[in-house]
Structure 1
Amino acid sequence: MKFLSLLFTALFSLPSFAAQLRLELGDVSRTWQTAELLQHPAVQEVRITDDVSYKREMTYRAIPLATLLDGIKPDDHLQAVAQDGFAAELSAAPLLNQQGAKAWLAIEDPEHPWPSLGKGKPSAGPFYLVWTDPQAGHISPEQWPFQVVRFTRQLPVAERFPAMRPDPSLAADAPANQGFVVFQKNCMACHRLNGAGDAQFGPDLNMPYNPTEYFGTDFLTRYIRDPQSLRHWPQARMPGFSRDVLPDAELAQLVEYLKHMATRKVSTPERQP
């Protein structure tokens, strides 16, 4: 009985959860435990004035993400993977910034858990990518992934998913090519295109129909700015993209990319009657 009593005491004295963050950065791989990160010398208290997920001011124990990205260069590409499979595509350059918009890995302390994201929902932990001064870098809501469990270095999107690429004959500075970059930053975390991509949440943006085929440009841009203004849906998950996040010029480039890709649909087997 004494042994059982000691066992129960030990079990209930453990933290409420033990989380791991996996970093797969090419030649460098490492798994961090919550306790290790909370004790890291670079950890500090960070105040986020307008948190994307909690819609209010929040304060976190956080570490500059660049501190953990050993060997990563500005032209590298990373993917942040969440517990539910959400995969945010992230250019490395903004993550390495030390001035202006700065990326932080917020770490949920088991002894002081964060609030729920809503009724019946978990918190944004165990790890959450947050930003200070996000307006300085036009940081998109898709660049704030929460419930993160892994950061992985990846090949560029154009190499991994050639079905998403604009026509190779286009000039590098063509609007469709510029819009492809905007698409990667703002859309790929939730949407596939031509069946390509890792997203599991929103609809494919080219198959069977491209939004430019059923939205006029004015309504499409309005929808991207404020989805609820066109389709009021209480359970809708698509965020609006303000001009601070997605300037008018970049929104126009995104629309040009979508229009272009409507002419480059992948071939699919005919449906059976």
Structure 2
Amino acid sequence: MKALILLAALLFGAPLYAAQLDLELGDYSRSWQTEELLKHPQIETITIKKDVSYKRDMSYRAVPLAALLHGVKPDQHLQAVASDGFAAELAAAPLLNAHGARAWLAIEDPAQPWPGLSAGNHSAGPFYMVWTDPQAGSISPEQWPFQVASIKRMAPVAERFPALLPDPALKADDPVNQGFALFQKNCLACHRLNGAGDAQFGPDLNIPFSPTEYFGGEFLQRYIRDPQSLRQWPQAKMPGFSAAVLPDGDLEMLVGYLKHMAGRKVKP
């Protein structure tokens, strides 16, 4: 029977698979199939300059992400979870923008599959969050999740994971608290800290040791800027964070947060 289905698909041009995107947005939940999204009334072809994942210009069939986020308010928080355990923590407001930096859900057509991200690897599909004019919103590479399986409305990170919080005696505008905000935007999609977080991708950044405890001098900053410049291996996945994405002042505050948290270890 399976052989007959496969033969029919080949003969009549039917998709060989149907991917599913699950949305859990509080009072609104829906599962979208690839074919449905490819027929969405707001779908269009967009060109992404210097795509974060492919490192070159790419064209996609895509739907404005805001068109799918029914009932989501700008002050809410979302999480995009990929099939490999990457969990991007996303403030809702930028995702709802209609101008400037604008988020899109790119949909891979089974009849016209995207290239692999590298030799022998899967593509960024079936669903990939991409941005037009990302510079206008200081969009981080971690805000480009690929192989997305679900998008969920969640409580803010600070409520879900108190083990990530800096000393509560610090003022709200203290550089350490600003570094915490940068950590959520740039690091939490791949890493946990004190065992806290939903990512299943990279190592914990405080247990058993913080990178501020084993990187001397400016080497941690150099590593964040260009990981392969200090540790080269073929399967490395951490992207570099350029000064355009993470200015020097922000990088210092991010490292300051990690240093601060090295004194606030909580065993998971």
What TM-score do you get using the length of structure 2 for normalisation?
0.94
1:14-66, Cα deviation, whole Å (9 max, x unpaired): 31210111100001001111111111111000000111111111000001101
Return the index of the structure with the highest Cα Rg: 1
CA drift of 1:235 comes to: 2.2
Q: Secondary structure at the match of 2:90?
A: strand
Runs of 4+ off more than 6 Å: 3-8
Conserved 8 A contact 2:142-2:186 = yes
Letter in structure 1 aligned against 2:201:
F
Aligned to 1:122: 122
CA separation of 1:110/1:261 partners in 2, compared to 1, >3 Å: closer, same or farther? Answer: same
CA separation of 1:173/1:121 partners in 2, compared to 1, >3 Å: closer, same or farther? Answer: same
Aligned to 1:257: 257
CA RMSD of aligned residues (A): 1.9
Letter in structure 2 aligned against 1:214:
Y
CA drift of 1:118 comes to: 1.6
Q: Secondary structure at the match of 1:223?
A: helix
CA drift of 1:216 comes to: 3.3
Aligned to 1:62: 62
Q: Secondary structure at the match of 1:260?
A: helix
Aligned to 1:44: 44
What TM-score do you get using the length of structure 1 for normalisation?
0.92
Q: Secondary structure at the match of 2:89?
A: strand
Which stretches in structure 2 are left out of the alignment for 5+ residues?
Answer: none
Aligned to 2:222: 222
Letter in structure 1 aligned against 2:181:
V
Paired with 2:218 and 2:81, the residues of 1 have a C-alpha distance of 34
Which stretches in structure 1 are left out of the alignment for 5+ residues?
Answer: 269-273
Paired with 2:238 and 2:211, the residues of 1 have a C-alpha distance of 15
Aligned to 2:27: 27
Paired with 2:164 and 2:227, the residues of 1 have a C-alpha distance of 24
Identity value in percent: 70
Task: Tell whether 2:74 aligns with 1:74.
Answer: yes
Letter in structure 1 aligned against 2:25:
L
Q: Secondary structure at the match of 1:79?
A: strand
Aligned to 1:271: none
Paired with 1:7 and 1:45, the residues of 2 have a C-alpha distance of 31
CA separation of 1:44/1:265 partners in 2, compared to 1, >3 Å: closer, same or farther? Answer: same
Letter in structure 1 aligned against 2:168:
P
Aligned residues: 266
Paired with 2:71 and 2:262, the residues of 1 have a C-alpha distance of 38
CA separation of 1:6/1:174 partners in 2, compared to 1, >3 Å: closer, same or farther? Answer: closer
Which shifted more, 10-19 or 23-32?
10-19
